Amino acid sequence: MSYTSFALVGAGTVGYGIVAGLAAKNVPIVVLSRPGSKNLEELPAGAKSEVVDTTDTDAVAAIFKKHKVDVVLATLTTTANKAQYPLIDAAKAAGVKLFVPSEYGMPTEGQTEGILGEKNDVAAYAKKSGIPSLRVFAGGFVEYIPWLFTYTENKKINVVGEGDVAASYNAVADVIGFVVHVLTTLPPAELEDKIFRIEGDRKRPSEIAALLNTTIERVDKMPGELSELRTGLSIAFSSGAGSTGWDAVNKTEGTGDAAAGSANKLWPGHSWQTIKQVHNL
C-alpha cells in the first residue's frame, strides 16, 4: 500500500463511495464534516468521523495530526472549490503527504476561467504550498447523460450550436473504484503531482442519440432547469473539452500519458462500463 491513513471532506456521491471502498479494504479513513451534517450518520462500518469547522485551519490540522493522515481527499461540489484552500493549509501544517483535489470532471489543467479555472487554481495552490497532488480527470458521468443533454426535458439529445464532438464518459462506480485502487496499490512516486485521465466510453452526441433511439436537437440554450449551467457545459463539451485528453492551452487532444484514457492501464484487468451497459440499452 502506498499510504496508510486517509481523510476526506465532502462525502457526496463520489466521496461516500471512496470512503466505502477504503473502509472495505480496512484502510483507516476519517471523514470531516461541518456541525449539523447528516452525512456522518450514513458512513460505512470502519470509517471514522470528525465534526469540525472546515474553514478553521488549526482545528482541521489538529484532526489530520490526530489520525496521522497521509492523504487528504476533497470531493466537494463545483461551487465550493475555494473551500479547498484552508484544507491545503491544514494539510501543510499537519505534514500530509498527498492532496487529491475535487476534480472528477473535465480536464482543468491550463484552464483560466470559470469553475474549471478555479479548480486549476486549487492545484496550483497545492503545488505552491509544497504538497504533492493527484488530479483525476473523468469527463462526464455516464449516469448523468440524460441530465447533461436535457434528454429528460424533450426526449432529445440537445446540443448548443453545431457541436458533435466526442467526449469521455465514466460510470460513477468506475471513478470511485479507480481512485481507491490507485491510492492503495501504487507507490507515492507514481501518484505525486500526477494527472490521471480515465475513459470508460467515448461517444459523440449523435452516437448517444442513436443509443437512445432519438435525434439531435440543436438549440441556442438548454431547456429546463439550470439552463445556464447546462448550456455552459454543452458549449464546453462541443469545444472538445469534454474529452479527458483535452489540452486547454493548445486546444487539441493530448497524446501519450496526456491522452484520453491513458490512465486506464493503471487498473489492469478492470472492465470499464459503457453508456450502453449503465443505461441498459
186 falls within a domain: yes
72 falls within a domain: yes
Q: Total structural domains in the chain?
A: 2
- Count the alpha carbons within 13 Å of 244 in the hemisphere toward its beta carbon: 31
230 shares its domain with 99: no
Comparing CA positions, the residue from 119, 137, 123 lying closest to residue 193 is: 123
pLDDT in the model for residue 78:
76
131 falls within a domain: yes
pLDDT in the model for residue 36:
66
pLDDT in the model for residue 18:
96
pLDDT-flagged residues of the chain (< 50): none
185 shares its domain with 51: yes
44 shares its domain with 60: yes
184, with CB counted inside 10 A (0-12, 13-18, 19+), is middle
Round to whole Å and give the CA distance between 197 and 184. 18
121 shares its domain with 222: no
Round to whole Å and give the CA distance between 42 and 52. 17
Report the CATH number at residue 154: 3.90.25
10 shares its domain with 125: yes
For residue 163, how many other CB atoms are within 10 A of its CB? Answer: 19
Q: Which domain holds residue 156?
A: 140-169+200-254+267-278
Is the separation of the CB atoms in 103 and 135 below 8 Å? yes
44 shares its domain with 163: no
82 falls within a domain: yes
Report the CATH number at residue 47: 3.40.50.720
Is the separation of the CB atoms in 50 and 32 below 8 Å? yes
93 falls within a domain: yes
Round to whole Å and give the CA distance between 217 and 281. 20
76 shares its domain with 211: no
178 shares its domain with 155: no
Round to whole Å and give the CA distance between 215 and 206. 7
259 falls within a domain: no
Residue in the structure block whose three cell numbers are 454543452: 234
Comparing CA positions, the residue from 80, 87, 148 lying closest to residue 119 is: 80
126 shares its domain with 23: yes
The gap between the terminal CA atoms of the chain, to the nearest Å, is 38
Round to whole Å and give the CA distance between 42 and 39. 6
pTM score, whole prediction:
0.94
191 shares its domain with 205: no
117 shares its domain with 28: yes
pLDDT in the model for residue 84:
95
Is the separation of the CB atoms in 224 and 232 below 8 Å? no
pLDDT in the model for residue 114:
87
Round to whole Å and give the CA distance between 157 and 208. 8
